[in-house]
Structure 1
Amino acid sequence: MRVMIIGGGIGGLTTALSLHAAGLDCEVVEGAAELLPLGVGINLQPHAVRELTELGLDGELAATGVETTFMTFTDRFGGEILALPRGRSAGYRWPQYSIHRGELQMILLDAVRERVGPVRLATRFEGYEQDGDGVTVTLRDAGSGEVTRERVDVLIGADGVLSSVRARLHPDDDPLLWTGIRMWRGVAVWDKVLDGSTVLASGTNSTAKFVSYHISVAEPRWVNWVAEVKVAEPGVVGEANWSRPGRLEDVAPHFADWDYQHFHIPSLIAASERILEYPMVDRDPLPFWGEGRVTLLGDAAHPMYPIGSNGGSQAILDARVLARHLATVSDPAEALAGYEAERRPVTSELVLAHRTLPVEKTTLLVAERAPHGFDDIADVLGEQELAAMADAQHAITDSDVRALNERPSWSVR
Structure 2
Amino acid sequence: MKVIVAGGGIGGLAAALSLHAAGITDVLVLEAVPEPAPLGVGINLLPHAVRELTELGLVDRVAAIGVETAELSYFTRFGQRIWTEPRGLAVGYRWPQYSVHRGRLQMLLLAAVRERLGPGAVRTGARVTGFTQTAGGVVVAAGGAELRCDVLVGADGINAATRALLAPDEGPPRWNGLVLWRGTTTMKPYLTGRSMIMAGDGVEKFVAYPISGPDDRGDVLVNWIAERPVDRAGARGDWNRRVDVADVLAHFGDWAFDWLDVAGTIRAAHAAFEYPMVDRDPLPRWRDGRVTLLGDAAHAMYPIGSNGASQAVLDARVLAHALATHGDVEEALDAYEDARRPPTTAILEANRRLGPEIVIKLAHDRAPGGFDDVDRVLPMAERAAIALRYKQTAGFAPELLNERASYSVLPVP
Counterpart-to-counterpart distance in 2, 1:337 and 1:18: 18
1:72 corresponds to: 73
Paired position in structure 1 for 2:201:
204
Residue 189 of structure 1 aligns to a residue whose secondary structure is strand
Aligned structure 1 segments of 4 or more residues deviating by more than 6 angstroms: 235-240
Q: Which residue of 2 aligns with 1:26?
A: 27
| Shift in Å, 1:232 | 4.1
Give 5+ residue unaligned stretches, structure 1.
141-146
Indicate the residue corresponding to 2:39 in structure 1: 38
Question: Residues 4-403 of structure 1: matches in 2 within 5 Å?
Answer: 4-24=4-24, 25-118=26-119, 119-140=122-143, 147-206=144-203, 208-219=204-215, 220-232=219-231, 241-242=239-240, 244-359=241-356, 361-391=358-388, 393-395=390-392, 399-403=396-400
Return closer, same or farther for 1:88/1:182 CA change in 2, 3 Å cut-off: same
3-state SS of 2:205 partner: strand
Which secondary structure does the structure 1 equivalent of 2:304 belong to? coil
Per-residue deviation, residues 146-186 of structure 1 (Å, max 9, x unmatched): x2111111101000001000000000134411121100100
Answer whether contact 2:73 2:196 (CA < 8 A) is retained: yes
Say which SS state the counterpart of residue 123 (structure 1) adopts. coil
Aligned match of 1:144: none
Q: Once the 2 structures are TM-superposed, how far is the Cα of residue 17 of structure 1 from its aligned partner?
A: 0.5
Q: Is the 8 A contact 2:245 2:266 kept in 1?
A: yes
Are 1:329 and 1:335, in contact at CA under 8 Å, matched by a contact in 2?
A: yes
Q: How far is the alpha carbon of 1:403 from its aligned partner?
A: 2.2
1:385 deviates by 4.0
For residue 371 of structure 1, report the CA deviation from its aligned partner: 3.8
Q: Report the 3-state secondary structure (helix = DSSP H, G, I; strand = E; otherwise coil) of the residue aligned with 1:301.
A: helix
SS where residue 74 of structure 1 aligns?
A: strand
Counterpart CA distance in 2 for 1:187 and 1:254 is: 18
- Cα offset for 1:91? 0.6
**Is 370-379 or 266-275 further displaced after alignment?**
370-379
Query: What value does the CA root-mean-square deviation take over the aligned residues?
Result: 2.0
| Contact 1:64–1:216 (Cα < 8 Å) also in 2 | yes
Conserved 8 A contact 1:65-1:97: yes
C-alpha change, 1:260 and 1:398, in structure 2 (3 Å) is: farther
**Alignment-mate amino acid for residue 271 of structure 1:** A
2:183 partner letter? G
**What is the distance in 1 between the residues matched to 2:43 and 2:103?**
9
Deviations 1:336-378 (A, max 9, x none): 1111111101101111110001345542343344444344323
Given that residues 163 and 300 in structure 1 are in contact (C-alpha distance below 8 angstroms), is that contact kept between their aligned partners in structure 2? Answer: yes
Equivalent residue letter for 1:130: Q
Query: Is the contact between residue 176 and residue 239 of structure 1 (CA under 8 Å) also seen in structure 2?
Result: no
C-alpha spacing 1:96/1:56, structure 2 compared with 1 (3 Å): same
The share of aligned pairs that are identical, in percent, is: 51
Name the SS for the 2:228 alignment partner: strand
Q: Is the 8 A contact 1:73 1:202 kept in 2?
A: yes
How much does 1:22 deviate?
1.2
**1:255-284: per-residue Cα shift (whole Å, max 9, x none)?**
122242222212211211221111111011
SS of the counterpart of 1:159? coil
Q: Deviations over 1:182-212 (max 9, x none)?
A: 0010011011111011110000342x10000
Is the contact between residue 69 and residue 89 of structure 1 (CA under 8 Å) also seen in structure 2?
yes
Cα distance in 2 for partners of 1:168, 1:89 equals 45
d(CA) in 2 for partners of 1:125, 1:216: 35
Q: Tell me how far apart the structure 1 counterparts of residues 299 and 77 of structure 2 sit (CA, whole Å).
A: 31
Q: SS of the counterpart of 2:162?
A: helix
CA change 1:396–1:259 in 2 (3 A) is: farther
Q: Distance in 2 between matches of 1:361 and 1:59?
A: 34
Distance 2:384 2:22 in 1: 42
| TM-score where L is the length of structure 1 | 0.93
